[in-house]
């Protein structure tokens, strides 16, 4: 496929918003009106084209970012419909990294919601120009003006309304375009064309006032409008549109339009706004890369003639075609069968088929040009965030950073056959999702899977069962407690067995002392010459270490102990390495019982960022979870709480925090150190462990 659209006629955009603002419904209408689909899919009926995964259709939410291509006014628009739920924030992150522009959808009733703030911050991070679509104008409680002020106050943005609603709630019937000074009435029948009407008499004064306000705001950010404004010139619609485009591309303001996607109102003007105000690949500054040989920074302009460079932003295991890698071409072009270089992994790769994606449907193409978003088959060693480029002009693009997982559960296979499939399936899922991590806990013998929230892990488990056909059981992970001693003790370990022939004889005198937290295990040989032959001393250390693997209180590993071998005795005939190993093991177990053993628990370092109004609730909740509040810092309008909290109390905290703060707080959690467990909880754990052992 040779280029059928010039670069200035391409728009790479994402539809982003809070959950349930209507992103997927907007995308479905865009596909219908651009002729990409002949039938409108509905999220609530489970027929949305972009929500193609079984889990998405069951839950009525978007889980994975889906890509598609459509055409409007001689322009090619590549669209990525992203999830709104905070658990799938990585999908938004990676989409915004490779997109040029964004359409932020707001619910006219709810206004700016929690996840709207998160996606807005993500778009700010990548400097993505965007337009706002205030959806659901037909619903009771819809308020266009309030949503505008929320965009200004909560998002610290400059909204530039270029439309106002014609009617509201149940009387909503269309839009008034304040740039063109026209009104459009929509019919709920998707087949009917919008009807152009005169601006109603009662709205004319308001329309003129808003147009003047728009010109004033544009004049603050655009010199040509400023000159015309000061000279009192009458501005034409096309001049305002050009200025609005410049201001949008500079991220100094956001055009705001409105409609009701479900009722098929306002979609055509939205498509016009995408073409008029959002950037083409040429409007974006040339991407910066680092040459792998020299370490120098180079630019890669959006041109077919420039050296090929692309960023892989998504890996999907497709049940029909296999491993698909989505990538954005920033410069140059690549053909089917071409050999490319992956400087991130230092590997050569061969491009198999090139596919233009339409949700989970595929269209084969021969060439991917600059500005294209395509998927390919055949890349075995390319992962999310990797660069693809020419071998002789290797340059590394900036990768994508993802947040760390915050919640974990333990999973185990139901059968032996499931065990083999589970490992392979989990590997595929970690390749697809950079915020999904798998670890094996040697202490508890569990496979622990970690993700961004309970819904995230629920979807992963659901996919394991339905898509990968793996039977798994899910449980709450056991906390990896440890044991240690608190006082020094002298102890004797004697292993004597008399059988027919040679017996077994090993005798040691040990001194056990507690060490500081985190110092592990130390072994000191302080035996007077000859009392224990040298070859029997390493087995004593091995015996002690083996005994430390299962402690004396509840079977957890013993840590932070210094063992000094002071003395002992041996038998010329009956002593052996095994006998001294057993003597060391017995001494440790007996000594640990006498050295006032305690249980230790992992303590996590927790940071919570939240608005001031929720501060009291969060601190009260943390205190009830045995949290130790450190300091509270102010970050702009947000407050950061530093806290130490036991791991056992942190399970499910992501969900708890969301419910406490209406989803407006974020948090991060990392391991800090082990500390002594309170006696009451320690007794409960020991009781359970003894019950397991003897029950």
Enter the tokens of residue 191.
């087949």
Q: Is the pLDDT of residue 41 over 90?
A: no
φ, ψ of residue 390 to 5 degrees: the values are: -75, 145
What average pLDDT does the segment 23-39 reach? 79
φ, ψ of residue 459 to 5 degrees: the values are: -65, -40
Tens of pLDDT, residues 590-629:
999 999 999 998 888 888 888 899 999 999 999 999 999 9
Whole-number Å distance between alpha carbons of 443 and 441: 5
Name which of 270-274, 465-469, 581-585 the model is least confident about. 465-469
Query: DSSP labels for 74-123?
Result: TEEEEEEEPP-SGGGHHHHHHHHHH-SEEEEEEETTTBS-HHHHHHHHHH
What average pLDDT does the segment 470-489 reach? 85
Looking at residue 233, what is its pLDDT? 80
Looking at residue 51, what is its pLDDT? 45
Looking at residue 38, what is its pLDDT? 55
Looking at residue 1, what is its pLDDT? 42
Closest CA to 112 of 68, 70, 176, 156: 156
Highest mean pLDDT pick, 17-21, 22-26, 673-677: 673-677
Whole-number Å distance between alpha carbons of 667 and 249: 32
Q: Is the pLDDT of residue 487 over 60?
A: yes
Name which of 16-30, 166-180, 559-573 the model is least confident about. 16-30
CA atoms within 13 A on the CB side of 129: 27
Beta bridge partners of 364: 355
What average pLDDT does the segment 49-73 reach? 62
Maximum Cα–Cα distance across the chain: 116
Tens of pLDDT, residues 94-138:
888 889 999 999 999 888 876 788 789 889 988 999 999 999 999
Q: Cβ contacts of residue 593 below 8 Å, gap of 6+?
A: 552
- Planar angle of CA 552, 558, 562, nearest 5 degrees: 115
Of 81 and 557, the one with more pLDDT: 557
Q: Is the pLDDT of residue 84 over 70?
A: no
Mean pLDDT of the chain: 86
Whole-number Å distance between alpha carbons of 313 and 253: 28
Enter the tokens of residue 330.
């920033």
Tens of pLDDT, residues 165-200:
999 889 999 999 999 999 999 988 888 889 999 999
Looking at residue 65, what is its pLDDT? 59
User: What pLDDT band is residue 694 in, cutting at 50, 70 and 90?
Assistant: very low
Q: Is the pLDDT of residue 49 over 50?
A: no
Q: Give the predicted TM-score (pTM) of the model.
A: 0.71
SS3 of 280-298: the string is: CHHHCCCEEEEECCCCCEE
Whole-number Å distance between alpha carbons of 128 and 415: 48
Looking at residue 500, what is its pLDDT? 64
* Residue 193 zone, left/alpha/beta (φ > 0; ψ -120 to 50; rest): beta
Looking at residue 443, what is its pLDDT? 56
Looking at residue 416, what is its pLDDT? 84
Looking at residue 246, what is its pLDDT? 95
Whole-number Å distance between alpha carbons of 300 and 281: 12
Name which of 176-190, 289-303, 416-430, 494-508 the model is least confident about. 494-508
The counts of H helices and E strands in the chain are: 17, 37
User: What pLDDT band is residue 87 in, cutting at 50, 70 and 90?
Assistant: low
Of 34 and 405, the one with more pLDDT: 34
What average pLDDT does the segment 391-415 reach? 83
Tens of pLDDT, residues 366-389:
999 999 889 898 888 899 899 999
State in Å, rounded, how far the first CA of the chain is from the last one.
70
What average pLDDT does the segment 350-357 reach? 87
Q: C-alpha distances in angstroms, 75 versus 4, 6, 255?
A: 10, 9, 20
Return the exposure string of 563-594: e unless at least 16 CB atoms fall within 10 Å of the residue's CB, then b. bbbbebebeeebbbeebbbbbbbbbbbbbbee
Of 446 and 244, the one with more pLDDT: 244
Beta bridge partners of 362: 357
Q: Give percent of the chain with pLDDT exceeding 70.
A: 91
Q: Is the pLDDT of residue 281 over 80?
A: yes
Of 694 and 41, the one with more pLDDT: 41
Helical ranges in 297-432 per DSSP H: 416-432
User: What pLDDT band is residue 483 in, cutting at 50, 70 and 90?
Assistant: very high
* Residue 655 zone, left/alpha/beta (φ > 0; ψ -120 to 50; rest): alpha
Tens of pLDDT, residues 624-664:
999 999 989 886 677 889 899 998 888 778 888 988 998 88
Closest CA to 580 of 491, 496, 519: 496
Q: Is the pLDDT of residue 211 over 50?
A: yes
SS3 of 249-263: the string is: HCCCCEEEEECECCC
Looking at residue 390, what is its pLDDT? 92
Looking at residue 52, what is its pLDDT? 41
Judge contact between 286 and 332, C-beta under 8 A.
no
Looking at residue 279, what is its pLDDT? 96
Beta bridge partners of 428: none
């Amino acid at each position: 496929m040779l280029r059928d659209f010039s670069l200035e006629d391409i728009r790479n955009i994402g539809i982003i918003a809070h959950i349930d603002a209507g992103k997927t419904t907007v995308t479905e209408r865009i596909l219908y009106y651009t002729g990409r689909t002949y039938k409108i899919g509905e999220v609530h009926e489970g027929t949305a084209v972009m929500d193609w995964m079984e889990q998405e259709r069951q839950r009525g939410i978007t889980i994975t970012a889906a890509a598609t291509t459509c055409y409007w006014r001689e322009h090619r628009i590549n669209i990525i419909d992203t999830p709104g739920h905070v658990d799938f924030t990585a999908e938004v992150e990676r989409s915004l990294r490779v997109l040029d522009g964004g359409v932020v959808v707001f619910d006219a009733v709810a206004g700016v919601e929690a996840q709207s703030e998160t996606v807005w911050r993500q778009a700010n991070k990548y400097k993505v120009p965007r337009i706002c679509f205030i959806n659901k104008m037909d619903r009771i409680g819809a308020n266009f003006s309030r949503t505008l002020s929320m965009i200004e106050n909560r998002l610290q943005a400059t909204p530039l309304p270029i439309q106002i609603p014609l009617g509201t709630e149940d009387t909503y019937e269309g839009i008034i375009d304040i740039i063109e000074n026209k009104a459009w009435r929509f019919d709920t029948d998707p087949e009917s064309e919008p009807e152009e009407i005169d601006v109603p008499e009662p709205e004319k004064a308001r329309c003129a006032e808003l147009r003047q306000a728009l010109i004033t705001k544009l004049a603050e950010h655009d010199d040509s409008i400023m000159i015309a404004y000061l000279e009192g010139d009458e501005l034409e619609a096309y001049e305002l549109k050009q200025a609005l485009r410049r201001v949008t591309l500079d991220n100094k303001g956001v055009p705001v339009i409105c409609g009701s996607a479900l009722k098929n109102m306002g979609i055509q003007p939205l498509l016009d706004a995408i073409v008029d105000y959002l950037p083409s690949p040429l409007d974006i500054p040339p991407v910066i890369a680092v040459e792998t040989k020299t370490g120098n920074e180079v630019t890669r302009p959006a041109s077919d003639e420039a050296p090929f460079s692309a960023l892989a932003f998504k890996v999907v295991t497709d049940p029909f075609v296999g491993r698909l890698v989505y990538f954005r071409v920033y410069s140059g072009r690549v053909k089917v069968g071409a050999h490319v270089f992956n400087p991130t992994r230092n590997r050569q790769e061969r491009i198999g088929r090139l596919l233009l994606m339409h949700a989970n449907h595929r269209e084969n193409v021969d060439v991917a040009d600059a500005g294209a978003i395509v998927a390919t088959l055949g890349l075995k060693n390319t992962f999310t965030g990797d660069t693809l480029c020419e071998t002789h002009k290797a340059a590394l693009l900036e990768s994508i950073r993802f947040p760390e997982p915050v919640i974990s559960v333990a999973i185990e296979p139901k059968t032996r056959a499931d065990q083999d499939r589970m490992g392979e399936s989990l590997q595929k899922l970690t390749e697809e999702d950079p915020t999904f991590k798998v670890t094996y806990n040697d202490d508890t013998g569990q496979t622990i899977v970690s993700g961004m929230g309970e819904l995230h892990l629920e979807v992963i488990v659901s996919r394991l069962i339905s898509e990968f056909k793996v039977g798994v059981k899910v449980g709450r992970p056991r906390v990896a407690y440890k044991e240690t001693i608190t006082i020094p003790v002298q102890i004797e370990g004697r292993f004597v067995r008399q059988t027919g022939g040679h017996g077994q004889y090993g005798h040691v005198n040990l001194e056990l002392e507690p060490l500081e937290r985190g110092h592990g295990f130390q072994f000191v040989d302080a035996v007077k010459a000859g009392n224990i032959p040298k070859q029997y001393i390493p087995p004593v250390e091995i015996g002690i270490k083996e005994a430390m693997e299962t402690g004396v209180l509840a079977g957890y590993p013993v840590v932070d102990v210094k063992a000094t071998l002071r003395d002992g005795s041996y038998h010329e005939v009956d002593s052996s390495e095994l006998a001294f190993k057993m003597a060391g093991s017995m001494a440790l177990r007996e000594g640990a019982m006498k050295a006032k053993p305690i249980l230790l628990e992992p303590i996590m370092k927790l940071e919570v960022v939240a608005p001031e109004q929720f501060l009291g609730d969060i601190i009260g909740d943390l205190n009830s979870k045995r949290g130790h509040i450190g300091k509270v810092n102010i970050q702009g309008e947000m407050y950061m709480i530093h806290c130490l909290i036991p791991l056992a109390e942190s399970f499910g905290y992501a969900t708890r925090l969301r419910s406490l703060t209406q989803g407006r707080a974020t948090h991060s959690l990392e391991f800090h150190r082990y500390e002594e467990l309170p006696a009451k909880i320690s007794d409960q754990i020991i009781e359970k462990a003894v019950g397991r052992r003897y029950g």
